Amino acid sequence: MIYFLPIRKHYLLVVGVLLLLLLGFSFFSGGGKNQEIIKDALLQLQNLSSYRYSSEVRIMEKEKVNYLSQVEGINTEKGAWAKGTILGTPVEILCIDNTTYFRDVQTGKWLTLKGINLGQAEALVNELNPLKVLYFNEIKNVRYRGIEKIDGVNCLVFEGWPSYTHPVLKHMYYDYEGKFYIEKKSKKLKRVILRAKSRFNQNIILAVRITFKEFGSRVKLPSPR
């Protein structure tokens, strides 16, 4: 699915968001204890067989907030599932092997598209495979910001400035900021918040938030039956 907004002035903004979601990046390099904590948390999550998450992408212009997507999702070795809204439209998508299922909102029945796996399509990476959004070239000036509770879990909070080397991303947005919440006990990644400024309008901010809610083999995909 490609994001379209009817208002022309938002076209470049949507393109920029898609580029952020489309492109994969290698995990960042760099030294420092705080950077290593974040890097280890990302690698630990990458190596898990499955996880549950929530994700939202927003464009903010002064007091106006435009949600591009808000979903709850599951990602496993067998496929991916997401349910929520994309551009204000209710959706439920299930991807297994080389088949994609869409649940009809009115009838509740699954529509089957064989030979298509949107779980591997880059256009929905934030909704169906959010780890790809976290492939940074590096994170600069990482600083420890204390401890906060998320879903009742104590998390170490780090702040830093992620960088992307792709020229289009650098052209569309700048001054990327990130907050990283790492579970204190398990050292798993719990939440990431990313913000960036538009180069075309100083009043516009891109905001992405991903929260990981459950990890491991207990996380199962729903059945399209």
What are the structural domain ranges in the chain?
A: 8-210
pLDDT 10s digits, 192-211: 999 999 999 889 998 999 99
- What's the pLDDT score for residue 211? 96
Q: Long-range CB contacts (< 8 A, 24+ apart) of 36-42?
A: 37/156, 37/158, 37/182, 37/187, 38/139, 38/142, 38/158, 38/160, 38/180, 38/182, 38/189, 40/187, 41/180, 41/182, 41/187, 41/188, 41/189, 42/131, 42/134, 42/189
Model pTM greater than 0.85? no
On whether the 8-210 domain is CATH 2.50.20, my answer is yes
pLDDT at 165 over 80: no
- In this prediction, residue 7 carries a pLDDT of 38
Q: How confident is the model at residue 18 (pLDDT cuts 50, 70, 90)?
A: very low
User: For a pLDDT cut of 70, what percent of the chain falls above it?
Assistant: 79
Whole-number mean pLDDT of the chain? 81
Look at residue 104 and tell me whether its pLDDT is greater than 90.
no
Query: Is it the case that residue 94 has pLDDT exceeding 80?
Result: yes
